[in-house]
Amino acid sequence: MIETRNLIKTFRDGDKETPVLRGIDFRVAKGQYVSIMGRSGAGKSTFLYQMSLLDDPTGGEVIIDGHPAAHMSAAEKTRFRLSHFGYVFQDYALLPDLTAIENVLLPLLMQGMRKSEARALAEAALKRLGLSERLHSLPSHLSGGEQQRVSIARAVAHHPKILFADEPTANLDSESSRVIMNIFAEIHREGQTIIMITHEEQYAKMAEQTITLEDGRITTTLKNR
Amino acid sequence: MLSQYFLNLRIGFFLALRQIKRASIWTTGLIVFVMVLTFLNLVVLSGILVGLIQGSIEQWHEEFTGDVIISALDDKKYIEGSANLIALVKSLPEVQALSPRYSEGALIEANYRTKKDTDKPDTAGTQVFGIDPASEDRVTGLASSITEGEYLSQGDYDQVLIGQFLLSQYVPVDDPNFAALDNVTVGTKIRLTIGEVVREVRVKGIVESKVDALTRNVFMVDSQLRSMIGRNDGNVDQIAILLKQDASPAAVRERLKQSGADREAKIQTYEDAQPKFLKDIINTFNMLGAAFSSIGLVVASITIFIVIFINALTRRKYIGIMKGIGIEGSAIRISYVLQSMYYALLGSLIGLAIVYGLLVPLIAAHPIDFPFSDGILVAPLGQTLFRVGLLIFSTIIAGYIPAWMIIRKNTLDSILGRN
């Protein structure tokens, strides 16, 4: 489903070059749940951004369903992200002016859905995540765990090909984290492909496979199940 | 392509509506207040400047020329064949009233009884109009301009109405170009000299107006003036015509011209008869108004620019997130443009309500008392709507540019807050 070949990312600051990804070969099959671990600065987030088309690599390739991402224009990438990817960020990344349901509705409407159809999908996604009472709450009126659940609802409402999650439990207490991880496990059981960065081993082990990055390279690949 | 545009418009509207709905009421109020002030600056400033002259023109029209004014040809002393012309004018169905006038240059003198041989005579040059008091009042309402004394009656003998600026007590500033009589008031006798004919007349009333033709001239009963100038053929110098409501002065002028009346007299609508300098002043004030308004427009544009720039800058992370999850940059830009339009539209609507609901009727009922006119607020709807369009257009540009500047930044840099 998604593959990287010799993926390289180097940041330049004047003459100074900082290599972050040093040639990563990686493959995730459809329906797989992969966790990525590593110390801070190992290149986990940078790796996720390249795969999820939020950033352009310095070298190598990202191939999605057999199509090289390098051949896509910026507008095509935007549309691809909208239709085929879902994102869960560490800080929830909800839009503060929009209510829970509006946050979920927005990308669905952008896909050209009719409002009624989009609303039905958004409501279903939020209700499934236990937020049926919070549909019309603004993010500032929700707890961290609730906000992250809205964020997950937004990411999965349109049934994306791949769900990218960047440390989704980093800002949550252990109870909320457990709830979030159970949700991930549940949607994965239904066939959702997930690529998740985490610092916490117990959550990493909930994925089928855990890879560890060190200094811009994959150093270990562990099968958890 | 078109469907993508409508989709972006739809999303832009979705975002703008919610941002406006959930924005601080104080911030929105302040921005709209600036827009209202800008609108008022655009419309009222030039409207008052033009209205100041327009008021003068309307008074000239209503108090002196009527709707159509017929006067002697430039090379003639009076209108030849006046009787026929008056009959023709009276036969027109659009005509409500007319006032034939005689007019002659004269010298008036006040201190002729008391002055010693070495004293300077207290004189002033003026124009004397011979009028039929009732006809003149029907056309110009001259009787209502009498502030002291009484209006003329047809049988008045050797009595005159005198314009206030011929009397020194009413002249605000001494002007060496315009002499005025001292110690003359209602009941005072003055000496009137027309050519070789000298007559002592009594001041029956004082005319107060902001129209120079009334305040610097003298009026007497037409038969009296006729006897002084020795004109017995019935030929007059001017005919002021009041038309019925909704009748077109230009159409009446054309009908009179088609009848050949322009061979004997100059036929003008009140607009044709306006002094050229008034038209020039209106154009100048329009230009000045446009210049001042442009400054207001620039200030409003800068205000919107700053508001949208700060708004977009503080939301840069969220703009990045939106782009990250696949929302088109165009849709986000449209949301900011729509917000700018909302501020400009709301400001303009409130401004329109203030101008047409309050200022125009208020100033029409209580004109601004300028020294030379009763100023009104001139705000033709067409021009006002053009200015609304101008305000909205400039705010769209002022909203679009900062939104474009922020939205074009790299998506990931925006999400991560990197510069």
Predicted local confidence at residue B1, as pLDDT: 66
Predicted local confidence at residue B93, as pLDDT: 93
CB nearest to A97's CB, from B10, B11, B19: B19
Predicted local confidence at residue B122, as pLDDT: 85
Q: Which residue has the higher pLDDT, B325 or B417?
A: B325
A200 shares contact with chain B (CB less than 8 Å): no
Contact A110 B19 (CB under 8 A): no
Whether pLDDT at A211 is above 80: yes
Show the domains of chain A with their CATH numbers.
Answer: 2-97+143-223 (3.40.50.300)
Whether pTM exceeds 0.80: no
CB nearest to A55's CB, from B10, B19, B412: B412
pLDDT in tens, B133-152: 999 999 999 999 999 999 99
pLDDT in tens, B81-105: 899 999 999 999 999 999 999 999 9
CA distance A182 to chain B (A): 23
DSSP B167: B
Predicted local confidence at residue B377, as pLDDT: 86
Lookup: tokens for A180: 């979030």
pLDDT in tens, A119-155: 999 999 999 888 889 999 999 999 988 998 899 899 9
Contacts of A109 in chain B (CB under 8 A): 10-11, 14
CB pairs under 8 A between A and B: 63
CB nearest to B324's CB, from A81, A109, A112: A81
Predicted local confidence at residue B132, as pLDDT: 94
Whole-number mean pLDDT of chain B?
88
CA distance B347 to chain A (A): 23
d(C-alpha B414, C-alpha B407), whole Å = 9
pLDDT in tens, A72-106: 998 899 999 999 999 998 888 899 999 999 999 99
**How many CB atoms sit inside 10 A of residue B316's CB?**
16
Contact A95 B7 (CB under 8 A): no
**Could you tell me what percent of chain B has a pLDDT over 90?**
45
**Alpha helices (runs of H) in B22-164, residue ranges in sequence order:** 25-40, 46-60, 82-91, 133-140
CA distance B6 to chain A (A): 10
Contacts of residue B199, Cβ cutoff 8 Å, sequence gap at least 6: B158, B191, B192, B228
Q: Distance between alpha carbon A99 and the CA centroid of its chain, in Å?
A: 21
**ipTM field:** 0.91
Q: Report the pLDDT averaged over residues B314-332.
A: 90
Q: Report the pLDDT averaged over residues B316-335.
A: 91
Whether pLDDT at B397 is above 70: yes
Inter-CA distances, A225 with A33, A157, B112, Å: 11, 27, 129
Q: Are B44 and B355 in contact (CB under 8 A)?
A: yes
Inter-CA distances, B217 with A103, A110, B28, B126, B207, Å: 78, 77, 57, 6, 9
Contacts of A98 in chain B (CB under 8 A): 18
pLDDT band at B2 (very low <50, low <70, confident <90, very high): low
Contacts of A138 in chain B (CB under 8 A): 22
Q: Are A30 and A193 in contact (CB under 8 A)?
A: yes
Contacts of residue B304, Cβ cutoff 8 Å, sequence gap at least 6: B31, B340, B343, B344, B395, B398, B399
pLDDT band at B56 (very low <50, low <70, confident <90, very high): confident
Predicted local confidence at residue A170, as pLDDT: 85
